[in-house]
A and B are shown apart, each in its own frame.
Chain A
Amino acid sequence: MAVLQFFTPSSPIVSARLHPVVLFNICDCYVRRPDQADRVIGTLLGSVSDGVVEIKNSYAVPHNESADQVALDVEYHRNMYMSHLKVNPKEVLVGWFSTGFGVSGGSSLIHDFYVKELKDSVKDLKDAQNSVPPLHLTVDTGFRNGEASIKAYVSVNLSLGDRPLAAQFQEIPLDLRMIEAERVGFDILKTTVVDKLPNDLEGMEASMERLYALIDDIYKYVDDVVEGRATPDNDIGRFLADTLASVPKISPAAFDKVFNDRIQDNLALVYLSSLIRAQLGVAEKLNTAAQILDLQSGS
């Protein structure tokens, strides 16, 4: 009796995390793809820990696709991989990406190639405990169903007895929060043209405005609840209470002292730096004057 069974990978990948630079690179490659190509594919680099794959880097690999076959530039892939390893040996092969919606026909062929490639590279690195199956990331650059769908898959082998039957792509959760992009600021990354980078104080102003708006929202919400306009939510209430409790309780006198000390410190620093700047100016003038005098006495 033949038993149809799944082989789950030895150390399954639970989820994946995407670094914004990968998304940017994939989109850039897609924009720069050759004339006749429908999609771009390429290699993903990153690291794996505790079943979470962090996709940190990527590069496109030229390929040719016809009705039923895919030709990947293997040499190119290997060269590029070696170059990337030189810069950052910690970023290893974790999978591959393709643009388009979902998994398509040729994908399993390419996936097989990456499975083999990953096995070889692991052998090279003598890093067997980290061997996880490669990941397949799809980015729908065509916005086919009206939204940005980015999905990650792992492949599971489906076999009948000992005979491999098919490979099944299973979707795994993908973390798209991209803290790194938040640090840079979505304002800069989501518009097509930014004329000027925000400087320190402008950024500060924006942050404060946002904080102010948040506090306003909370006021409004609390007022609404008190006056019976909104239905109270215990969770939100508890959250607000926690937040208020996290403000340290200091007596006004003590707070004033700390506050004034800090202000004085900062004033002293500003004074010092202004002094040094004035000093630089004076020194330059004196130097020039000395040179002129010197020149006159010399001639």
Chain B
Amino acid sequence: MSNTMARSFLQAVSSSEEVAPPLRVVQMEGLAVLKIIKHCNGFSPALVTGQLLGLDVGSVLEVTNCFPFPIREEDEEIEADGANYQLEMMRCLREVNVDNNTIGWYQSTLLGSFQTVELIETFMNYQENIRRCVCIIYDPSRSSQGALALKAVKLTDSFMDLHRKNNFTGEKLREKKLSWVDIFEEIPIKISNSALISAFMTELEPESPVAQCDYDRLKLSTAPYMERNLEFLIDCMEDLSSEQNKFQYYYRSISRQQAQQQAWLQKRRVENMARKAAGEEPLPEEDPSNSIFKPIPEPSHLDSYLITNQTSNYCNQINGVAGQNFSRLYLMKALHEN
């Protein structure tokens, strides 16, 4: 009896699972935010990851808790250990009534250099198991500047489609009208706290009118940060130009191949005319065994798209910091003149 009921419940769930509304907001609990920040800062500059737990409510994804992963090592035994750890942690957290529903993962990043093939692959893995998934990115280096560098990203649906078919030729990308901007989608983050926390924090907020983040924001020395950013940017440009070279090489070899094909066809036609005049059967105008008809594989556009994304990310960061620098400098000037 209960079995049938369970089944009908499952059926009901699966039938109600038609078209999910698009994900609009990621709502994070202050607890999850603090846990992520603590884990990422504690291990910085090493990059760490962890799992996000929460609920999927309509167009809002609620992140209510999270737990860190131990630093990964390239060993199969340890990998199995890691899976055990994950299960154990989920089980333990369920016992104290934490939402044990995986909704994605978080990771720290260095200067926002998160747009990698690994991230896409991890995302695809998660996406296969859970209907809706998000990745929270935290940047400790930017946070030392006094900003809360928290970002929620997901892959766009059209990109995921393409990735499943593993098809990144220029033709397909153009068909879908997918450009490098459309790989990642940033989702606005909302933060919520329980009333209890809110009461505690209001009570405990120090009297002092200046907080640590004000000091961080008004610090004048941003040179090291800028330098790192520029260094990364230059690396990216180099990668990009080598990608471009790859494409140029590809186009050049295509046009060379076409010229060869034309020449061969010309020759064959002349030959055929001669044969016709002599009353013989004409030879076919195609020869698949000939190496010049073999299609040249097109290099994947994915890498260059990712690099382009990174580059524009660095550009944005540089612009942002430079903008802040202007404000700081003018503030300094005003102070000095007084």
Contact = CB atoms under 8 A, between A and B. Distances in A.
A280 B322 contact: no
A20 interface: yes
B319 interface: yes
Nearest to B248: A290
Interface in A255-278: 255, 259, 262-263, 266-267, 269-270, 272-274, 276-277
A225 B335 CA distance: 22
A83 B92 contact: yes
A104 interface: no
A169 interface: no
Contacts, number: 243
Interface string A35-46: 000001000000
B191 A193 contact: yes
A298 B170 CA distance: 14
B195 A192 contact: yes
A180 B38 contact: yes
B244 interface: yes
Interface in B208-266: 209-214, 216-218, 226, 230, 233, 237, 240, 244, 247, 251, 254-255, 258
Contacts of A83: 85, 88-89, 92
Interface residues of B, number: 95
B312 to A, nearest CB: 6
Contact of A185 (B29, B65, B211): B211
Interface stretch (B16-24, B95-103, B153-161): B95-103
A191 interface: yes
Given A182-B212, A203-B213, A86 B70 contact: yes
B148 A192 contact: no
A207 B327 CA distance: 11
Interface in B303-329: 308, 311-312, 314-316, 318-329
Contacts of B316: 273
B196 interface: yes
Nearest to A271: B322
B63 to A, nearest CB: 12
B33 A184 contact: yes
Given A83-B92, A180-B38, 16 more contacts: A27-B194, A27-B197, A60-B96, A76-B92, A76-B95, A180-B37, A183-B213, A192-B192, A194-B190, A200-B147, A213-B209, A266-B329, A270-B319, A274-B319, A280-B308, A280-B311
User: Lowest 4 CB-CB distances: which A-B pairs, in order?
Assistant: A182-B212, A148-B203, A190-B201, A273-B315
